[in-house]
């Protein structure tokens, strides 16, 4: 068997030569184009991101072969340039076109080297990744409550003044500025701060508006705003434009579900002047301000 002789290539079930032939550039180029089309379709999504490393490695290997193919195509144009003619059979235009094609193929190979360099870097970085399965998303509890914000010390003063002057609804509207929606809920879930009902002591005062409940602890000088966990409120009906604190007193802005603190203790309100009162049955009602 001579060096130029090749074993016959067994065809596939459709009569096409199986890839690769290693001797028929036309057939192999057709199969390569078909394989790349298949890869472009298959790689639209990866169920397992760990598979991307193998694909990158194969593409890097393919880029090296592609560069070789471009150089060999350029050499073919130079080697056979004496046979080049234009459509009218003129030699000079054909020769010029062959030389120009060879130059462009060499230029394409140079640009491909740049792409190959980026592929090498991408493969190296991808090799540093340890892919972990997604953690199951925390299920938002239905019918339970999460804290929006807890105010302590002097941060409660402005809220208490607002309650006394305009009622509990106005106070809830004010404190609701710290509600960041899903971010607040996720922070509470991460911290395990989910309650069957808002925490409420025997000496606390409480008012509710919509999905919010505001509590005021007299012994501890603490105000807490809680929201139903499965309710992501639209704050516009409450008249809240942005999660910032405004008014006569400006306190620290806590993170979602966080606590605002300051050094001076809050003022205590006597029971007979509070915007809340407690009945014999333990139910808290407001004695002043707008109705809920």
Residue 277 belongs to what H/E stretch? Answer: strand 277-278
Instruction: Tell me the two tokens of residue 130.
Output: 């340890």
What distance in Å separates the CA atoms of residue 20 and residue 69, rounded to the nearest whole number? 14
Q: List the one residue out of 248, 259, 233, 250 whose CA is nearest residue 179.
A: 233
Positive/negative CA dihedral, 162, 148, 180, 267: positive
pLDDT of res. 42? 92
- Least confident stretch, 101-115, 193-207, 226-240: 226-240
Q: Judge whether residue 227 has pLDDT over 70.
A: yes
Phi, psi of 209, rounded to the nearest 5 degrees: -140, 115
**What is the pLDDT confidence band of residue 11, given thresholds at 50, 70 and 90?**
low
Cis peptide before 20 (omega within 30 of 0): yes
pLDDT of res. 290? 34
Average pLDDT (182-198) is 89
Instruction: Tell me the two tokens of residue 162.
Output: 């607002």
More confident residue, 175 or 3: 175
Q: Judge whether residue 28 has pLDDT over 70.
A: yes
pLDDT of res. 111? 94
What distance in Å separates the CA atoms of residue 42 and residue 31, rounded to the nearest whole number? 16
**What is the pLDDT confidence band of residue 223, given thresholds at 50, 70 and 90?**
very high
Q: Judge whether residue 23 has pLDDT over 80.
A: yes
pLDDT of res. 276? 42
pLDDT 10s digits, 50-72: 999 999 999 999 999 999 999 99
Q: Which range in 120-124, 163-167, 273-277 is most confidently predicted, on average pLDDT?
A: 120-124
Mean pLDDT of the residues in the chain: 77
**Is 112 within 8 Å of 67 (Cβ atoms)?**
yes
What distance in Å separates the CA atoms of residue 1 and residue 202, rounded to the nearest whole number? 101
What distance in Å separates the CA atoms of residue 57 and residue 64, rounded to the nearest whole number? 11
């Amino acid at each position: 068997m001579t060096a130029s002789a090749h074993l016959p290539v067994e065809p596939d079930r459709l009569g096409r030569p199986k890839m690769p032939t290693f001797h028929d550039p036309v057939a192999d180029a057709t199969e390569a184009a078909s394989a790349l089309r298949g890869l472009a379709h298959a790689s639209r999504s990866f169920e397992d991101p760990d598979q991307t490393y193998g694909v990158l490695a194969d593409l890097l290997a393919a880029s090296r072969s592609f560069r070789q193919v471009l150089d060999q195509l350029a050499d073919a144009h130079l080697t056979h340039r004496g046979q080049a003619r234009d459509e009218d059979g003129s030699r000079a235009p054909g020769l010029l076109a062959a030389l120009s094609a060879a130059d462009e193929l060499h230029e394409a190979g140079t640009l491909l080297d740049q792409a190959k360099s980026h592929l090498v870097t991408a493969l190296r970085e991808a090799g540093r990744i340890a892919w972990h399965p997604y953690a199951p998303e925390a299920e938002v509890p239905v019918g339970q409550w999460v804290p929006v914000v807890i105010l302590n010390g002097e941060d409660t003063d402005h809220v208490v003044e607002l309650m006394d002057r305009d009622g509990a609804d106005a106070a809830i509207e004010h404190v609701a500025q710290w509600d960041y929606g899903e971010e607040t809920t996720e922070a509470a879930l991460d911290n395990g701060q989910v309650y069957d009902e808002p925490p409420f002591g025997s000496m606390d005062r409480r008012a509710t508006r919509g999905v919010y409940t505001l509590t005021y602890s007299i012994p501890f000088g603490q105000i807490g705003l809680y929201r139903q966990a499965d309710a992501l409120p639209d704050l516009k009906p409450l008249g809240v434009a942005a999660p910032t604190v405004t008014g006569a007193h400006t306190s620290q802005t806590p993170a979602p579900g966080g606590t605002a603190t300051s050094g001076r203790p809050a003022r205590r309100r006597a029971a007979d002047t509070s915007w809340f009162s407690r009945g014999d049955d333990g139910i808290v009602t407001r004695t002043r301000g707008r109705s809920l």
